[in-house]
Structure 1
Amino acid sequence: MKIKAAVLNEIKTPYAIEELNLSEIREDEVLVKMVASGICHSDDVVRTGDSPYMFPVVLGHEGSGIIEKVGASVRGFKPGDHVVLSYKYCGHCDNCLTGVPASCEDWAALNMSGIREDGTPYFQREDGSVVHNFFAQSSFSTYSIVYERNLTKVDLSADLRLVGPLGCGFLTGSGTVRNGLKPEPGSTVAVFGTGAVGLAAMMAAKISGCTKIIGVDIHDHRLETAKELGATHTINSKGIDVVAEIRKLTGGKGVNYTVDTTGVPQVIRASIEALAIGGTAAPVAASKPIELNTINDLTMFNRTIKGVLMGNAVPQLSIPQLIEFFQAGSFSFDKLVKFYKFEEINEAANDSLSGKTIKPVMIIDESYVPGK
């Protein structure tokens, strides 16, 4: 079938809206008509070349939409279901079977190969050339082929224009706190970077009962947003010793937990140095290498650095929980969203990179009416 998609042909080039051929779905696949898609930092780092990938490619991995067609072996979904898309996992490796699909042994192959496992493409141009898939989703398109484990069914009352980012950015931030760090009520946390992931982490810290939630950034307007969404204290780290400031706020001890969402090596170092004895740091952003003295930075203070991919979340459990938190007023991610038309994808992407917009969301199907 003919579809429209935003194709990235090379690094550091604009997206181009093109007509592509989408293959027929197979028995284990699902055809989704996209309603909206968020733009995530992971899309940005592919576009800028900081994360190598295959070109040309249809990016996007924060999609939401309505199921158009299901393959013969698909049992959990039907046409008309409203869904949020997230990552794909195998479901049968040791990690999937023990409830940690974000650690799926085949995670990279399933999400980052750009084509099907048998080597056939999802997207092609009229001349037969391949346009690669991304995150087993490619939500920067009017239609896409996904799999049952990519999907989380949501109630018709959920606004599909809003909930797409729950599949990655907001899932990663909240899950890093709730599933990865698991802070005890009364503990302290500092979040470095107050973009979508960082603000989701702060909201999750508030839900978890942390008594000091410190937001760190270099933009005052973002720190004001952090205060609205759960930060008890904020620090503009431009030109100051942020570690010393965090220690002042914690009686000289440092914080129990830190989350770095910036990927900036010196900021990651600060997130480790700001830990109290026995503290844990979770760096979740794409980063260049950092220098680390394991004795002085970790062992002598009994500190831990914890890797957390996709918030260690099971999307089918966490996404409905986040929607419930949103409906209860404790996870107000809608305050971070700005809508764009699909044709405005380059403006949206540039606003994301510059920090002008915390979470750009493109409305791909403008005929969609919430609740229907």
Structure 2
Amino acid sequence: MSSDTPTESPEVPTANTMSPEVPDGEGKVKSSDNPVERREAGSDKEECLEPMSKRQRKKLLKQKRWEDQKDLRRQKRKEKRQKRKLERQSKLDSSNEGNDRKRMRREVVPSTLRLIVDCSFDDLMVLKDVKKLHKQIQRCYAENRKAFHPVQFYLTSHGGQLKSSMNENDKGWVNWKDIQIRTEHYSELIKKEDLVYLTSDSPDVLSELDEKKAYVIGGLVDHNHHKVIKCKAAVLWEANKPFSIEEVEVAPPKAHEVRIKIMATGICRSDDHVVTGGLVMPFPIILGHEAAGVVESVGEGVTSIKPGDKVIPLFVPQCGECNSCLSTKGNLCSKNDLSSGAGLMPDGTTRFTCKGKAIHHFMGTSTFTEYTVVHESAVARIDSAAPLEKVCLIGCGFSTGYGAAVQTAKVEPGSTCAVFGLGGVGLSVVMGCKAAGASRIIAVDINSDKFAKAKELGATDCVNPKDFKKPIHEVLIEMTTHGVDYSFEVIGHTETMAAALACCQYNYGVSVIVGVPPAAQKISFDPMLLFTGRTWKGSVFGGWKSKDSVPKLVADYMKKKFVLDPLITHTLPFTKINEGFDLLRTGKSIRSVLVF
């Protein structure tokens, strides 16, 4: 037989053998692909199993999910328990705050709140007010932090009266920082302190602050801007009468005006000229023109000055527009009040009122008051670190005398100088002559008690006219053979003005009038004194362009290029102003400084 013939063999079931077809409920044939089911179906000895229902499957899935989410449910229950605990604790804090604080003191280590308090512009100059503020903030801070936190106060240097009233018990909660808070300093302070207390310049610096660290204490921010301020001032109601300490009303600054809190002011001979009638001014009047203070507020349009700046008022303004301001040879701005003596602001009105009466200004400054208003052109911003009770002399006395030598006369090295009058301005002339390199400086005064101070500051010779029978100009010519190269009259008398001119070298000598000339008096002299070549000139504010030069002079003082302390012989409280003028008239003082 051929090999192609198929051979019949018995059928052996294999794994690939099709399972028997089973009809479903509708009579259709349905095959099972599951081998187990095939075995169960093909075996008569094994028991058949019914398929799992949908309900059973859902139940199994639900049980599985329940087991998988057991840990998550446990965590949520824990969080709810903690939340309820915190809510109960919060209710306990509000209902039993005192006991809760004692308990939390044991649990929480208190941190210290460091608070900067700027006393410059607010009614915080009384220690009891600061103590009250301290308790209020301590309570507020404790409520916010849910714990009692100690509060440390750092007071700025303007709270001078506060500092003087503190005792040993206050040192536990009050510290002292000799700082001047200004806009550019806030961003640095809030990096170190927890809280910064803002005053009058708050609106200007809010954009610089991190609200999470610095806060404005409600109701304590200065609101004096553009409101009338009531303060103490020394009013001179009439000539040859003592000053009267009165409560005056200081109006807010108008456009291009600045209101200043005066911190220190000097007593100058020019002020006394008004008292005695030598310098005619309208009454009643607030005198004073040599001072330093802090800007309290500014009027509309003021751009060069802002609240909080340390400043010096200028009795010689600098508008920057008139011929004198534009010229390199002049400094007497046309907007000065020296020429007219009207005693009013540039708009023809006054900012002072007392007992219903208008009070006049003096030379656009009026510094014998706690607050004054000046034009923007009559104030210069100075170094924030400068001591105001010292640099106030740069507002008149020192600058006038020092500048007369180095700026007006332009004293040359090796020259000979004579100075008539050894008050604060005269001694400043001596300092200027020495700084310029003069080889001989002759100090002239009828008070020999001032000679020691003059020699200390640079005078080489001291002469008292009372010791000679001949005229003083002849004495000086004999001392120098040909006369002095430069002479300075710093008294304000016509006789000494003529003598100072006569003692100069006849051909190239220069004489400078520094003292304020008396009113309604004329001077007579031999015209030959000028014909031969002498130069006779005057000097107002030392020839300095005020707004430009005053900040530079203050900077030079801070660099110790000159000293001011020897000129200050008395520092008095403002209320003793009449005592200060008595010291001036009796020759017992060189410069008295009144502090507020």
Structure 1 length as normaliser, TM-score? 0.92
Task: Tell me whether 1:51 sits opposite 2:283 in the alignment.
Answer: no
After TM superposition, the structure 1 = structure 2 runs for residues 244-255 of structure 1, keeping only pairs within 5 Å, are 244-250=474-480, 252-255=481-484
Aligned to 1:239: 467
TM-aligned CA deviation for residue 135 of structure 1 = 1.3
Correspondence list, 1:1-372, <5 A: 1-87=229-315, 88-99=317-328, 102-108=331-337, 112-127=341-356, 129-240=357-468, 241=470, 242-250=472-480, 252-276=481-505, 277-285=507-515, 286-287=517-518, 288-295=521-528, 297-300=529-532, 302-327=533-558, 329-337=560-568, 338-364=570-596
Distance 1:57 1:231, change over 3 A: same
What CA deviation, in whole Å up to 9, does each residue of 1:145-173 have, x standing for no partner? 11222222221221101111211111111
Residues 110-137 of structure 1: CA deviation (Å, up to 9, x unaligned): 883222333322101242x211011111
Deviations 1:27-74 (A, max 9, x none): 211111110100111100001111111000000001110111112311
Amino acid at match of 2:407: N
Deviations 1:267-291 (A, max 9, x none): 2222112111310111221244221
Take 1:236 and 1:116, find their aligned partners in 2: how far apart are those partners?
Answer: 43
Secondary structure at the aligned position of 1:103 is classed as coil
Deviations 1:313-364 (A, max 9, x none): 1123433343344445553221121201111000001111221111111002
CA pair 100-23 structure 1, distance change in 2 beyond 3 A: farther
CA separation of 1:212 and 1:94: change in aligned 2, threshold 3 A: same
CA distance in 2: counterparts of 1:329 and 1:25, whole angstroms: 35
State the 1:304 CA deviation. Answer: 1.2
Check whether the contact 2:258–2:375 (CA below 8 A) recurs between aligned residues: yes
Q: CA deviation at 1:208?
A: 0.8
Q: What's the offset of the Cα at 1:188?
A: 1.4
Tell me, in whole angstroms, the C-alpha distance in 1 between the residues paired with 2:448 and 2:555: 30
d(CA) in 2 for partners of 1:347 and 1:281? 34
Tell me the amino acid that sits aligned with residue 64 of structure 1.
A
Offset, 1:303: 0.5
- Partners of 2:307 and 2:538 in 1: CA distance: 37
Q: Which letter maps to 2:591?
A: K
- How has the CA–CA distance of structure 1 residues 272 and 101 changed in structure 2, closer, same or farther, with 3 Å as cutoff? closer
User: How far does residue 85 in structure 1 lie from its aligned partner after superposition?
Assistant: 1.4
Larger Rg: 2
Q: d(CA) in 1 for partners of 2:348 and 2:320? A: 21
CA RMSD between the two structures: 1.8
Counterpart residue identity of residue 15, structure 1: F
**For 1:265 and 1:38, how far apart are their aligned partners in 2?**
25
Unaligned runs of 5+ in 1: 365-372
Task: Report the residue type matching 2:433 in the other structure.
Answer: A
**Does the C-alpha gap of structure 1 residues 118 and 324 become closer, same or farther in structure 2, counting only changes over 3 Å?**
closer
Identify if the C-alpha distance between structure 1 residues 363 and 136 changes in structure 2 by more than 3 Å, giving closer, same or farther. Answer: same
CA distance in 2, matches of 1:324, 1:89: 19
Counterpart residue identity of residue 291, structure 1: S
Displacement of 1:234 in angstroms is 1.4
C-alpha separation in 2, matches of 1:142 and 1:115:
18
What one-letter code is carried by the residue in structure 2 that aligns with 1:93? C
The secondary structure found in structure 2 opposite 1:158 is: coil
Q: What is the CA distance between 1:184 and its match in structure 2?
A: 1.6
Give every structure 1 segment of 4 or more consecutive aligned residues whose post-TM-superposition deviation is greater than 6 Å.
Answer: none
Query: Is the CA contact (8 Å cut-off) linking 2:476 and 2:503 kept in structure 1?
Result: yes
Between 233-242 and 277-286, the greater mean CA deviation after superposition: 233-242
Amino acid at match of 1:68: E
Whether the 8 Å CA contact 1:35–1:161 is kept in 2: the answer is: yes
User: Residues 109 and 336 of structure 1: is their aligned pair in 2 closer, same or farther, counting only changes over 3 Å?
Assistant: closer
TM-score normalised to the size of structure 2?
0.58
Change (3 A) 1:268 1:244: same
Q: CA deviation at 1:203?
A: 0.3
Distance 1:12 1:313 in 2: 32
- The alignment partner of 2:579 has SS state of helix
Shift of 1:243: 2.6
Q: Is the 8 A contact 2:447 2:587 kept in 1?
A: no
Which has more strand, going by share of residues?
A: 1
CA contact (8 A) 1:37 1:60 kept: yes
Determine the C-alpha separation between the residues in 2 that align with 1:333 and 1:202. 13
Match of 2:128? none
One-letter amino acid of the counterpart of residue 341, structure 1 = P
Take 1:130 and 1:44, find their aligned partners in 2: how far apart are those partners?
Answer: 22
| Structure 2 unmatched ranges of 5 or more | 1-228
1:263 deviates by 2.1
The code of the aligned residue for 2:491 comes to: T
Residues 339, 356 of structure 1: CA spacing in aligned structure 2 closer, same or farther, 3 A cutoff? Answer: same
One-letter amino acid of the counterpart of residue 38, structure 1? G
Equivalent residues of 1:83, 1:153 under 8 A apart? yes
Corresponding letter in the other structure for 1:344: K
* Percent of residue pairs identical: 36
User: Shift of residue 23 of structure 1?
Assistant: 1.1
Quick one: distance in 2 between partners of 1:144 and 1:19? Answer: 13
Say whether the 8 Å CA contact 2:383–2:554 is kept in structure 1.
no
